Structure formats: C-alpha cells, structure tokens
Structure 1
Amino acid sequence: MKKMLATLLLSGGCSAAGAQTAAITVPLGTPVMLATTTDLSSRSNVKGDMVPLRVDEDVAIDGRRVIARGTEAVGQVIDARAKGAMGMSGRLVLRPLYVRAGERVVRLSGQSIDKASVTAGAVIASVAVGPVFTGRSASIPSGTRLSAVVEKTVQLPPLD
C-alpha cells in the first residue's frame, strides 16, 4: 500500500510541479551585463585580486528571467601595473569569473581594461623641466559597467 501511494504521488503530483520549474538552458555566449561594486585602482589593486561585481541587468531566455539584476558576481584583476616615472601610465585589467544563480555557478568570460594616459601637455612640459613627472594611475570606478558572456552552457530554473 505504501509503495502504491508513493508511486501515485511521484507520478501525478510531481510531474505538474516539475513542468512548472523545468530548467531553462542558458547557452554559451549569452550576454550578462555586470557592474563593479567598489572603486578599483592600479595604486591599490594587484594581479590576482578577487573583486566583487553585481549583475546590472536581468538575464532572460525566451522572456523568462534566469538571473536577477543585483545578483552577486565575482571578477579578478588579471593585470595591474602602477604608474611609473617618465609618464608610464598605470594599467588595470579586470576579468569576470562567475555569477552564482541559486545553487548553480555560471562561468563568465570577458574583460574590462583601463589604461591611464598622460596628457600631451605633461609630456611637452617634461622635456622643458626634465624627467620629473609620473604617469597616471589606472582606475575603474564603482558602478562601471562590464560586458560578459556565459562561458559554458548551463541549466537554470526560471525566477518567475
């Protein structure tokens, strides 16, 4: 009797619920718009630093949301160079790594680069005064948008 009841529950009750929460395939290359949540700078960040990001726009597949705006994501500084003498500018390269959608990790790829530059006036002035200037630090302010894409196809439950 218990086996019969369990079979009925599994075959009847769960199939309707399963249809409502069927996973949605999020294909490779699906765009994910991210934003930085802290100020980043070649003065303070170094290669390898993990940085917090957030999803800046809902991600939807066929009109169904699978990743909500505001979901936390993680990126990594993959290149950082402090400013140097003789006008050498700073450099900061950030790569998105993943976003956690519920229990699933969605791997991402893409990158954001900031390379500070020296103004032409500073270079001309340095010739007249002597090589005493330094370049600018590279920075990526909080709220800077960063385009990423899904790196590996993943199945996610719809949010609505």
Structure 2
Amino acid sequence: MAFNSSIALVALLQAAAVQPVAPVAAVAPAPAHATIISPAGPSVLRAGAEVPLRMSETINSNNKALREGHRIRMEVASDVLLGGKVVIPAGSPVTAEITEVRRKGMWGKSGRIEARVLSTRVGDRLIRLSGTFDDKGVTGTAGVVTAIALVPVAGFFVTGTSAQILAGSGVKAFLDEDLQIQ
C-alpha cells in the first residue's frame, strides 16, 4: 500500500511539472491612503498666520457705555510679511467686539472684559481675523474677610477692581482665511 501511494505522488509531481507556468505581470503599487498637500506657494499666506495687534483705545469694565456687541478700535502693530513683501501693513485698522462685560461689585466681586477680533481692512479688502483677549480685575476677598471680622455689615461695601485694557496693549490675532497675493 505504501508502494501505491509513492507511485501516485510521483505521477502527481510529474503532471505538475509539465503544465506551463503563466508569466507574472508587474503589479502597480497601491494608491497612497494619505493625500500629500503641497506647501503654501510663495503667493498664498495661509490661515492661522499670526497678526500682531495693538489697542487703539482704553476699555474699562466700569464704563457704562461698554456692552456686549460694542465695537473696539485696534490696529496692526507690525507688518505681516510673505516672502519679504508686506501683505498687511502696520497701522491697518482692526475691528474687535466685546463678548462679555461684568462690572465690579459688592462682596469683593471683580470686573471682567472679554472680546474677540473680527477683521482688518487693507485698502478696499476686508480680511477676516480670529482671536480672543480678556482682562479680569483683582477680587477684594481679603478686604471682605477683614471687614467681616471687624464689622459684619462692612463686607457688603468692599468691591474688587475693574478690568481694564489700556491703549497700546498688545494682542495676538490670526488670519481666518487664506490670502492669495498677486
């Protein structure tokens, strides 16, 4: 019986050796799964580029005219360059908007101002910017505790400080869109 299985095996091997082998075709490489984005060309300033700003006016949380939605004047602090060319010149007007105002109050509550940068104007073009900035006054907690220890009702009259952002203060903003430069 072992002899028959050996003969069958030899016959099978001879039959396999006689069959012609098909030539192997060259296989193209699989397409890449990730798309490679080329770097920004010399004529595109990409979104996210930093734009240094400077406050043109002082804002204070105790100013009764300061409310949410109030527009603030700012300006570009230094030239924004692309390949040695000025894209956004220093001094370009910038608009920002107050998003929250909290006045100082009793029991040591401090003032707070929050704002966001909206846009700048270069010639006749409006360029979208993004970024936020804020300031918070100092709480009067220590004064409240001391006042309550001496005269319990006196803590009611102790307040924190107002939030204030002075003219000339620096603020960072970022481009919110790609700028195609000619």
Match of 1:27 among 36, 39, 46: 46
CA distance in 1, matches of 2:103, 2:88: 35
Map Cα deviations across residues 50-85 of structure 1 (whole Å, 9 max, x no partner).
010000011001221111111111111111111111
Q: Which of the two has higher C-alpha Rg?
A: 2
Partner of 1:11: none
Equivalences, count: 135
Match of 2:112 among 91, 97, 115: 91
CA distance in 1, matches of 2:108, 2:177: 41
1:47-86 alignment runs, 5 A limit: 47-86=68-107
Q: Structure 2: give runs of 5+ residues left out of the alignment.
A: 1-41
SS in 1 for 2:96: strand
In the alignment, is residue 145 of structure 1 matched against residue 170 of structure 2? yes
Q: What is the CA-CA distance between 1:94 and the residue it aligns to? A: 1.7
Determine which structure has greater relative contact order: mean sequence separation of CA pairs < 8 Å that are 6+ residues apart, divided by chain length: 1
What is the RMSD computed on CA atoms of the aligned residues? 1.7
The percentage of counterpart residues that share the same residue type is 30
SS in 2 for 1:142: coil
CA distance in 1, matches of 2:178, 2:125: 12
Which has the larger share of strand? Answer: 1
Q: What is the CA-CA distance between 1:120 and the residue it aligns to? A: 5.6
SS in 1 for 2:139: coil
CA contact (8 A) 1:25 1:154 kept: yes
CA distance in 1, matches of 2:59, 2:46: 31
Q: Which amino acid in 2 is paired with 1:30? A: A
TM, length-normalised to structure 1: 0.78
TM, length-normalised to structure 2: 0.69
SS in 2 for 1:143: coil
CA contact (8 A) 2:109 2:140 kept: no
